[in-house]
Amino acid sequence: MSLKEQIIAVRDSGKTNMLDSRTVQYIASEMNFYELVIFIEEHRDRYSKFIFTGDEKYLSVSDK
């Protein structure tokens, strides 16, 4: 499952505001989306930019 798909699954759960990245990490962990948990921890700025813009380029860690 891609990072985008994991983010959408957390969003679709309706359990939190997606701007609350700490709670998103908690829910992602509950859903076994460990890649997303680590991505947010290491690239919180890129996660936020994706949430605000929807631009998938922010989900690619090779695009710095």
Number of Cβ atoms within 10 Å of the Cβ of 13: 13
CA dihedral 37, 40, 42, 43 (to 10 degrees): 160
The segments of the chain whose pLDDT lies below 70 read 63-64
In this prediction, residue 7 carries a pLDDT of: 99
Segment 5-17, tens digit of pLDDT: 999 999 999 999 9
Q: pTM of the entire structure?
A: 0.91
Select from 7, 26, 50, 44 the least CA-distant residue to 59: 50
